[in-house]
Amino acid sequence: MNYEEIENRKKVSKEMEEKLLKTMKQKHLKRLSVMEYINDMQITGKEKACLLGSMKNFEQLRRTYVKTSSNCQLLLEVS
């Protein structure tokens, strides 16, 4: 992977994070379920992969896992 690819991924991650923060502010949320966001926005396969891949580079949001009765839910939380 070269420098340009790394910079492009960081740019995409930043854009995705800003989009999520904007959505969270509009809905007055401090936590956002990733599955609810994917379902609400009707995200396709490639966009879903982009979202999940870019989460590791988020600076203002952090991943939180919450265990419910038999499931584990992924949330994004403002840090």
Please, which residues bridge with residue 77 across strands?
31, 62
pLDDT at 1 over 80: no
Identify the pLDDT of residue 45.
87
Identify the pLDDT of residue 77.
93
pLDDT at 5 over 90: no
Count CA atoms closer than 13 A to 2's CA, side-chain side. Answer: 1
Identify the pLDDT of residue 20.
92
Instruction: Give the pLDDT mean for 44-65.
Output: 89
pLDDT at 25 over 80: yes
Identify the pLDDT of residue 28.
93
Three state DSSP letters for 61-76: EEEEEEECCCCEEEEE
Identify the pLDDT of residue 6.
80
